[in-house]
Amino acid sequence: MPELEISIKILQHGKGLPIPVHETDQSAGMDLRAAIDANNPVHLKPGARCIIQSGFCIALPPGFEAQIRPRSGLAMKHGVTVLNSPGTVDADYRGEIGIILINLGDQDFLIERGMRIAQMIIAPFTRVKLQDMETIPDSQRGDSGFGSTGDF
């Protein structure tokens, strides 16, 4: 599978943390780590949310986005997830990537420096131009939604 090269800038508070990589040959995502002060962990209380910095900036090429998604283990074991999932990083954004976490669990969750807190997927996107029309073509499904195609 061909690899897309993307420039990354490690910020001062991100130095010493591993650069995001695909952990296996077939991994879609790259783990993002908490670039927080080792002496000041974040205590995320149930129902609370916060932004955790990643410690880096990237330069995506035109036509690509970075999607910030939850880690399934954190979601299942602790109820901690990415609030605006998936978060989108646009190709023209050059600032630090921040991860909005929320604790949907029933216990405090401790976020420490270097902890893997989310994953990032790089994906192409399509730009479109919507055209205002009086009607749109019918389909077999029509306007049926919200469970209309079968059981959950």
Say what the pLDDT of residue 145 is: 79
Q: Is 55 left (phi over 0), alpha (psi -120 to 50) or beta?
A: left
| Domain assignment of residue 150, yes or no | no
| Domain assignment of residue 13, yes or no | yes
| Domain assignment of residue 142, yes or no | no
Between the alpha carbon of residue 59 and those of residues 56, 78, 88, 136, 152, the distances in Å are 10, 32, 14, 38, 40
Q: Could you read off the pLDDT of 20-77 as tens digits, one per residue?
A: 999 999 999 999 999 999 999 999 999 999 999 999 999 999 999 999 999 999 999 9
Indicate whether 81 pLDDT > 90: yes
Q: How would residue 144 be classed by pLDDT, with cut points 50, 70 and 90?
A: confident
| Domain assignment of residue 134, yes or no | no
Determine the longest span between alpha carbons in the chain, in angstroms: 60
| Domain assignment of residue 63, yes or no | yes
Question: Residue 37 sits in which domain range?
Answer: 7-124
Residue range 98-126: mean pLDDT, rounded: 97
Say what the pLDDT of residue 146 is: 76
Say what the pLDDT of residue 3 is: 87
Q: CATH no. for residue 74?
A: 2.70.40.10
| Domain assignment of residue 64, yes or no | yes
Q: How many CB atoms lie within 10 A of CB 101?
A: 23
Q: How many domains are contained in the chain?
A: 1
| Domain assignment of residue 135, yes or no | no
| Domain assignment of residue 52, yes or no | yes
